[in-house]
């Protein structure tokens, strides 16, 4: 199996798959277990030494200054390394590493701290093994631990990255919903003011939001205001035309408002065929046209009449 194999799939988190991927043999696991029997007697001291190093790191005060949080974290750290030194990789082992990745992602503890900490811990264990094992035994155990640590890191990092991506996607969806506020400003009239850049993904999201709102409100008129759109090129114009055509299929007539002289000139120079799409220079004009089409008479109240 290639070492570049993705760990994103469920099957790739299978313990057997992971052991094969990182070439961890039964002999390697046996070396780790033997070393673990030596290290386990001193593990509390090893953890204490490691936390002495952690206190020198910038993130210590941010995440571990609370004595109760520190106590719980030290207990979890002890459990982590006890499991590591047992030399047994099964479903529970992998699940424990996944939970670690989830925890790091949710509290915002950086991967660099985890990676540096893992390397530091192995260094402390190696120093301990040097006092009680032959050089060959120590070398074999250190190599085996390095392989298993690579497996651990892969599971933690993949889980961390997946949660980060899910968070970013959720934030993007929220921003997209905020950036496409289809509003019923009058019975039967929808308005969507666009701001910023329109790409294929955003255009599709806009179309989905508009069509869903039309279906929900049974609107007959839709105003798409583009006065806040930064650039209108061939791609953007085509997206806008598709949106208006889709609304027409649902029985809702569309008007694109906010067409500035510069945008109009660009459309002409690019030779873009807007077909039968209705356009206006201002949102006011588009709204007045929508009222006329709906048979709504709007009377402007003069200031002197308002007194």
Ranked by mean pLDDT, the top range of 15-24, 169-178, 226-235 is 15-24
CB 216 within 8 A of CB 182: no
Please count the other Cβ atoms lying within 10 Å of the Cβ belonging to residue 152.
25
pLDDT in tens, 104-131: 887 777 888 888 888 888 888 888 888 8
How many H-runs (helices) and E-runs (strands) does the chain carry? 13, 5
Q: How far is 137 from 148, CA to CA, in rounded Å?
A: 17
Tell me the domains of the chain and their CATH numbers: 11-174 (1.10.490.10), 183-306 (3.30.750.24)
Tell me 231's DSSP state.
-
Q: How far is 48 from 90, CA to CA, in rounded Å?
A: 28
Please count the other Cβ atoms lying within 10 Å of the Cβ belonging to residue 97.
24
Q: How far is 13 from 133, CA to CA, in rounded Å?
A: 33
Angle between helices 26-39 and 135-179 (to 10 degrees): 100
DSSP 225-270: EEEEES---HHHHHHHHHHHHHHHHTT-EEEEE---HHHHHHHHHH
Q: What is the pLDDT of residue 210?
A: 94
Q: How far is 2 from 25, CA to CA, in rounded Å?
A: 17
DSSP 59-76: HHHHHH-SHHHHHHHHHH
Q: Which of 185, 187, 188 is nearest to 225 (CA)?
A: 185
pLDDT, mean of residues 163-185? 75
Confidence of residue 277 (pLDDT cuts 50, 70, 90): confident
pLDDT in tens, 23-81: 999 999 999 999 999 888 888 888 888 888 888 888 888 888 888 888 888 888 888 89
Question: Residue 213 above 90 pLDDT?
Answer: yes
CA 12 to chain CA mean position, Å: 21
Radius of gyration in angstroms for the set of CA atoms belonging to the chain, rounded to a whole number = 31
Q: How far is 56 from 68, CA to CA, in rounded Å?
A: 19
Q: How far is 290 from 114, CA to CA, in rounded Å?
A: 60
């Amino acid at each position: 199996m290639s070492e570049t194999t993705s760990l994103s799939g469920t099957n790739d988190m299978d313990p057997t798959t992971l052991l094969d991927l990182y070439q961890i043999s039964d002999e390697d696991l046996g070396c780790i277990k033997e070393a673990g029997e030596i290290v386990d007697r001193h593990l509390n001291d090893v953890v204490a030494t490691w936390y002495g190093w952690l206190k020198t790191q910038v993130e210590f005060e941010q995440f571990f200054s609370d004595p109760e949080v520190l106590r719980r974290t030290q207990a979890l750290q002890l459990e982590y390394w006890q499991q590591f030194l047992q030399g047994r990789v099964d479903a529970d082992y992998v699940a424990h590493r996944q939970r670690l990745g989830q925890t790091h992602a949710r509290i915002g503890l950086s991967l660099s701290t985890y990676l540096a900490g893992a390397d530091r811990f192995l260094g402390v264990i190696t120093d301990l093994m040097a006092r009680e094992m032959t050089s060959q035994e120590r070398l074999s155990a250190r190599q085996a631990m390095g392989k298993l640590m690579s497996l651990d890191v892969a599971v933690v990092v993949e889980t961390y990255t997946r949660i980060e991506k899910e968070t970013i996607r959720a934030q993007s969806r929220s921003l997209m919903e905020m950036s496409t506020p289809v509003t019923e400003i009058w019975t039967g009239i929808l308005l969507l003011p666009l701001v910023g850049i329109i790409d294929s993904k955003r255009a599709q999201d806009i179309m989905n939001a508009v069509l869903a709102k039309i279906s929900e409100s049974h609107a007959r008129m839709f105003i798409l205001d583009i006065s806040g759109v930064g650039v209108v090129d061939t791609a953007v114009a085509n997206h806008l035309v598709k949106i208006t055509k889709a609304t027409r299929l649902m029985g809702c007539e569309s008007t694109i408002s906010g067409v500035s002289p510069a945008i109009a000139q660009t459309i002409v120079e690019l030779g873009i065929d807007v077909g039968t799409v209705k356009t206006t220079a201002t949102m006011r004009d588009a709204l007045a046209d929508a009222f006329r089409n709906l048979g709504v008479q709007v009377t402007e109240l003069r200031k002197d009449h308002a007194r």
